[in-house]
Structure 1
Amino acid sequence: MPSFMRKISCKMIVSALLAVTVGVSLLEIQTPVSAALPASTSLSDKSEGAAADLNDTAQLTAFIDGIMNVHLDNFKIPGAVISIVKDGQVLLAKGYGHSNLEEGKLVDPRTNLFRIASTTKLFTWTAVMQLVEQGKLDLDTDVNTYLKTVKIPKTYPQPVTMRHLLTHTAGFEEGGVGYQITTDPTKLPVSISDTLSKHRLALVRPPGEMMSYSNYGAALAGLIVEEISGIDYNDFIQNNIFNPLDMKYATVHEPVPASLEPYVVLGYARENGQFVTKPLTFEGGFRPAGSGSVSAVDMAHFMIAHLQNGRYGDQQILKPETAKLMHAPAFKFDKRLPAMDLGFYELRMNGLRVIAHGGADTLFNTELYLVPDKQIGIFVSYSGGEGGTAAAGLAKAFFDRYYPAQVGKLPAVSAELENAVPKYAGSYQFTRRNHSEIDKFFSFLSQISVSVSDNRLSIGSGAEQQIYAPIEPNLFQEVGGTHQIGFRTNASGKVTHLLLDILPEMPLEPTPLLDQPKFWLPLLGISAILFITVLIGLAYRRREIKELPKAQKWAVRLSAATSAWALVTLIATYVVVLNMDQLDRLSRITASLNLYLFMPVILVGLTVAILALSVMAWKNQYWTVLKRVHYTLVALSAVVMSLFYYHWNLLGWQFG
């Protein structure tokens, strides 16, 4: 997965759910953009002064040393590596920290293999383009023409093409709970085709309509490379990319070959103030999307080849016209914003067009930036700690120093444009999410809230708040900064999509009411309060209840049982599901999760029973009218919770 996401932490926000269970109504809990993005990506400070000389390698080294050493300390990173190239030469390749803390081994940029996660996709996309230029693949042909063991269902009239896979516009939902990765090397190797056949993801939007970043799509592309070439994916990458580029310390094999095992960088997590070794994660059948382990010097070779239109030394891995096609815009959300190329996504850094790709797993964070117009490439990778934040900070510092940009004044706009600003406010969710499986629940509370004030849009809060002013129809400029956000609208002017230029591969769309926390949290809070009143009433009215007729007594007991079970299920939803470790969530179906899923099913049974007894209570005039109303409200609260679990795919065992 890309490292900006890159990741939205449900844990941080889901504490609201516990607050709700004790009656606190939180109407506006949304994930701020700052939860999705490193704070250091903000370019709100003006760049000043003349550009430094990038060709002064001694000065460059001192500059990078200062940044990396501070980052390793501040962001609790045990080891990191960087390589910078320019005009076909390596300006800098250096390691920082340790590759193995226990043995005291320092990071070696020439030999140490860092896990690069989704940056691996660049190898897959390069392989696809090699087959395109050989005439074995066509970018605009139905991929089912090439697939032999897996077929994509014809959900929409439009076929899925290679162009769609490379631009992440095929329309697949996201998935991965229980199967995306593994930490057990004895389960390897596994077949790409078997994995994709077993874990099929649905098409949820017409191909070509909108971007939705997809590991599944990248894995399909790798399978196509394998089946069309007749060569195992791992061997194809080795023979057609690594060998020609003299990448001796690079592999997509999992686990790495025995000859390279001594050079593997260990992964660490921070526990009780110390680094603790953790098992590496493997992509298995999804390896075309993220299995790479590479040294910084070897990635420098790869960057040089792409910057030189496929050439490295006397080797040509892509024809110049193919490389230029790969680096050119292939899908544009808006012509004024960064585009999606064939595999690379575009960024704007201080006015420069950058083509890039990042990657992150539970232990490593990687970023790769290419500036074709300046013939510059940067590769940086971190083991453990807050590597995503560190990478963003390093990129900002580099471009501010060597290619500083002055923040200009915002242009004057018409009153009509300013008056239209309120229509852009609201809740937005990423197109990259699940719709049909249990994975859907992990997007609950993971949305971005866009608010409006004084004809300006606001994203985030506090010190990380970003303010955007309108500059053109559907386009906003960061106040005091260089970033932009854009919107798509339909024929009637209604907003359909949002794109932040710092996440060009991750569009968002308005969140339907049924997916919004502000819809569910108050309902869950009110329901929880009603359930609590039932339990309190049971404790205070024990003698009175004992004297009730048998039918009424059982009705009260059912109400208490339903209330207790609903509250326990709600708490278990937080403790077992939303509090799941990311590694556990993506690598296996835990026993606790399997057991938990019985709880919503039982709740539905209790809900049906209490609804039936509610009808009987009114028909037979149990208790007072006020107590019957209360009983009915409790039954309806159980219905609300059952619908919540149904809507978020927690009712039953809906695994991918």
Structure 2
Amino acid sequence: MDNFFKREDIKKTLAGAVVTVVQGDKRLLAKGYGFSDKKRREPVDPDKTLFRLASISKTFTATAVMQLAEENKIDLDSDIGMYLKAMTIPNRTGGPLTLKHLMTHSSGFDRTEADADEGDPQEVYPLETFIKDNIPTIVRKPGEAFRYDNYAFDLMGYIVQNVAGKPFENAVEDRIFKPLGMRNSYFALTPDIEKRLATPYDGEGKPLPQYATLPNNSPDGGLISTGSDMARFMIAELNNGQEGRTSILKKKSLQEMQRLGFSIHPDIPGVGYGFESSYPDLASGEYVIDKSGASSGFQSHFWLLPDRKTGLFIALNSVQNARTLQRELFRSFMDHYFPRSHQAESLEPAIRQSKEQLARLEGNYRDLRIPMWHYSISAEDGGIMVTDAYGVHRLTPLKELLFVDGEGRKAAFKENERGDIVYFSYNKADSWSEKLPEAKRFIDVPEDHPYAKFIEYVQQQGMLAKEDNQRFFPDQPITRAQFIGQLMALSGLPLSESPAAFRDSADSPYAAEIQTALEMGLVNGTKERRFEPDRFIARQEAAVIMSRALLLQFGSAGAAAQTAELMSGTDPWALAGVETVVARGYFGPEVARNENGKVDYRPKQPMLRQEAAAMFYHFP
């Protein structure tokens, strides 16, 4: 481990880290690296330095649920309505929603996150109020599909609170922290705990202010702990719920939690109750379960190898290069202690399928959690081509509906009861994607139109609901209101209910979309509080809006600034935005390079509707 943290690629972005390793019933390592505060050069102490562990909280919340199930105080297979007091969750499916659905991120909710989950340390937002303020609607049959679900775990914490008869944080303290001797673990922030927290750092290595989670005892992401305390928890998880002489769960309950049974295909690890399988390609053929956490300035991850009774945990107080560091740590750990055997290297024999056999898989697939993330799939003899934000991938079949790419990453499809393809899962770990319905042809967009596939995509995404459904008018400029309306439809975000801030937008059919974009910081108005909704949007204006949307959706780490060789003509205020969209390829065949390799983006010309469709298709 010392050698790992001496590596130059690790040291150059590290603020501070704590690492623990356990095996059997023993803690083999608990060590800090770097600093809990770089300015004061305070070293990380595995026994004292507190880290936010974010979504690792979910494993503890699921544990509390399983404890209540062991006591016959709740039924994991019954509708949760009986545990919600007078609260009702709207359900359009008629199917019951159970605790098993909540624990496996298969609730079917239309919203799985709140508008805000972090706030000022002094802000008071009780769990019950949070749950009632953010009630979703069940729009997909529970148990049908996987979509990472923060609200589901907050809802489970609320159920634990109701059934246990005490605040959630007190229930976890009494049932998990105290029995395991986790004396430095908390779900509720206090001034004393705040002083002991490691300083968080952003993607550029700059310190961030401390904050509270919302709700204040957040069951989905509020856990604060140390490396040494997490060692105790891992030991209990690996020893049938027992740490020392204390037991927090029965063996049967732990086995049920750790079984990654909810999956799109039996040959692909799915999710358990508060557990996942983040890097199956690095598992060396071992059975590995894990859970990660990410919040502003903090990243964490722990892995368990139940068959080897081995656990590894890391927490970081910086998000700079954090995901890469975690993956590389796990890779190095597995390569060193559990290298892949020759027997584990062989894949199942591939089957041969023709283009005609694979044709039913073709189409556009929309991510359930981030609607703007999508896959385009086409069939060819012997495999399929998958296009996404990472590029183009060729996948070959291993079994019916199971595929593998050139790097060994598996993908799979799911059928419904009629045998229709409905879901796809590949290289995005936090949700499946749903197959979009066949696009309806516009009479002014022939099949061989150079922008046909882009226009088909925006139609499939439901982005044109407020427009003519017979013609698309591809060669016409798009207005500012139409552009924002389509972007908001693509985002899938709930629209603002506030009155229109722009005086000239109140009567626009896109008034709510424009107001939402304003509140999100995507658009600006004029000094006269006008938006000019009917003015044609310039290409450089559209580029700036899309670069802001990228930053908002994926943060500074996922939307790193990129440059491009541009021909002159872009205004200074728009230069960064135009460079971003050009570098990322958010355009169609209208963009070309001159003899010197510079891009002619035509920044001040009006954006045509077909060009906007191409931009939306390529985003993110």
TM-score by length of 1: 0.66
Of 208, 233, 248, the residue aligned with 2:168 is 233
What SS class does the counterpart of residue 236 from structure 2 fall into? helix
Deviation of 1:429 after TM superposition, in Å, equals 2.4
Select which of 372, 375, 378 maps to 2:309: 375
Partner Cα separation in structure 2 for residue 307 and residue 409 of structure 1: 28
The 5-angstrom pairing of residues 54-453 of structure 1 reads 61-66=1-6, 70-73=9-12, 76-176=13-113, 179-188=115-124, 190-253=125-188, 255=189, 257-271=190-204, 275-280=206-211, 282-284=213-215, 287-346=218-277, 348=280, 349-384=283-318, 385-405=320-340, 406=342, 408=345, 413-416=350-353, 420-433=357-370, 443-444=371-372, 446-450=373-377
Q: Could you tell me how far apart the structure 2 residues matched to 1:194 and 1:104 are?
A: 40
Residues 344/426 of structure 1: CA separation in 2 closer, same or farther (3 Å cut): same
Give 1:64 deviation, angstroms: 3.7
CA contact (8 A) 1:427 1:449 kept: yes
CA separation of 1:270 and 1:325: change in aligned 2, threshold 3 A: closer
2-structure distance, mates of 1:110, 1:401: 26
Alpha-carbon distance between aligned partners in 1 of 2:211 and 2:240, rounded to the nearest angstrom: 34
Counterparts in 2 of 1:415 and 1:581: CA distance versus 1, 3 Å: closer
Deviation at 1:296, TM superposition (A): 1.1
> In structure 2, do the counterparts of structure 1 residues 310 and 418 end up closer, same or farther at CA, with 3 Å as the change threshold?
farther
Cα contact 2:474–2:610 (8 A) shared by 1: no
Q: Tell me the alpha carbon deviations over residues 514-536 of structure 1, each in whole angstroms, 9 at most, x when there is no partner.
A: 799654679798443799xxxxx
| Distance change in 2, residues 1:88/1:175 (3 Å) | same
2:431 corresponds to = 506
Q: Which runs of 5+ in 1 are unaligned?
A: 1-60, 434-442, 532-560, 585-633, 646-656
Cα distance change, pair 451–299 in 1 and its aligned pair in 2 (3 A): farther
Output one character per residue of 1:315-371: Cα deviation in whole Å (capped at 9) or x when no partner.
Answer: 111122222222224424222221322221246311111111111123212111111
Distance 2:113 2:63 in 1: 25
| TM norm structure 2 | 0.70
| Aligned with residue 414 of structure 2, among 463, 468, 488 | 488
Task: Measure how far apart 1:243 and its partner are.
Answer: 1.0
Which whole-Å deviations, capped at 9, do the CAs of 1:151-201 have from their partners, x for residues lacking one? 222322211111111111111123546x3223311212x221111111221
Residue 112 of structure 1 contacts residue 249 of structure 1 at CA under 8 Å; is this kept in 2? no
Aligned to 2:404: 477
Match of 1:528 in 2: 477
Q: d(CA) in 2 for partners of 1:524 and 1:578?
A: 27
- How far apart in 2 are the matches of 1:530 and 1:181? 34
- The residue matched to 2:156 in structure 1 has which SS? helix
8 A Cα contact 1:362 1:582, kept in partner = no
Provide the rounded CA distance (Å) in 2 between the counterparts of 1:419 and 1:504.
Answer: 29
In the TM superposition, what whole-angstrom CA distance separates every residue of 1:239-283 from its partner, at most 9, and x where no partner exists? 111111111221111x2x344333211111254xx5333443523
Which range moves more in the overlay, 216-225 or 508-517?
508-517
* Aligned counterparts of 1:514 and 1:101: Cα–Cα separation in 2: 54
* Cα drift, residue 388 of structure 1: 1.3
Give the counterpart letter for 1:215 in structure 2.
N
Distance of aligned partners of 1:115 and 1:417 in 2 relative to their CA distance in 1, 3 Å threshold: farther
Once the two structures are superposed, residues 578-612 of structure 1 have per-residue CA deviations (whole angstroms, 9 ceiling, x without a partner) of 5548789xxxxxxxxxxxxxxxxxxxxxxxxxxxx
Equivalent pair of 1:195/1:285 in contact (CA under 8 Å): no
SS at structure 2 position matched to 1:125? helix
Answer whether contact 1:267 1:280 (CA < 8 A) is retained.
Answer: no
Indicate conservation of the 8 Å contact 2:187/2:224, yes or no: yes
Structure 2 residue matching 1:102: 3-state secondary structure = coil
Cα offset, 1:219, TM superposition: 0.5
How has the CA–CA distance of structure 1 residues 393 and 465 changed in structure 2, closer, same or farther, with 3 Å as cutoff? farther
More helix by share: 1
Question: Is the CA contact 2:20–2:312 (under 8 Å) kept in the aligned structure 1?
Answer: yes
**Aligned mate of 1:564, from 527, 535, 543:** 535
Aligned-partner residue type, residue 400 of structure 2: P
Provide Cα deviations, 1:471-494, integer angstroms capped at 9, x if missing partner: 111111233x44321111346654
How far does the alpha carbon of each residue in 1:272-328 deviate from its partner, in whole angstroms, 9 at most, with x for none?
A: xx5333443523257010001111111111111111111001111112222222222
Moved over 6 A (4+): 460-465, 513-516, 520-525, 581-584, 637-642
The answer to whether the 8 A contact 1:196-1:285 is kept is: no
Aligned residues of 1:165 and 1:217 also touching (Cα < 8 A): yes
Give the secondary-structure state (helix, strand or coil) at the position aligned to 2:143: coil
Distance in structure 1 (CA, Å) of the matches to 2:378 and 2:266: 25
Structure 2 counterpart of 1:199, one-letter code: N
Which has the larger displacement, 451-460 or 392-401?
Answer: 451-460
Higher-RCO chain (CA-CA 8 Å, sequence separation at least 6) = 1
* Contact in 1 for aligned 2:354/2:380 (Cα 8 Å): no
Per mean C-alpha deviation after superposition, the further-off stretch among 339-348 and 295-304 is 339-348
Please report how far the alpha carbon of residue 84 of structure 1 lies from its aligned counterpart in structure 2 after TM superposition. Answer: 1.2
**What is the CA distance between 1:418 and its match in structure 2?**
6.7
Q: Partner of 1:389: helix, strand, or coil?
A: helix
Could you report, residue by residue, the CA deviation over 1:494-526 in whole angstroms, capped at 9, with x for unpaired residues? Answer: 4211123x6565222224567996546797984
The CA deviation at 1:203 is 1.2
- The residue identity in structure 1 corresponding to 2:158 is L
Secondary structure of 2:422's counterpart equals strand
Q: What is residue 495 of structure 2 aligned with on the other side?
A: none
Which deviates further from its counterpart, 277-286 or 346-355? 277-286
Task: Give the structure 2 partner of residue 650 of structure 1.
Answer: none
**Structure 1 pair 112–512 and aligned structure 2 pair: CA distance change class (3 A):** farther
* Distance in 1 of aligned mates of 2:432 and 2:149: 13
1:525 & 1:118 partners in 2: Cα distance?
A: 44
**CA RMSD across the alignment:** 3.7
Measure how far apart 1:414 and its partner are. 4.7
1:267 and 1:277 in contact (8 A); partners too: yes
Q: Which amino acid aligns with 1:109?
A: P
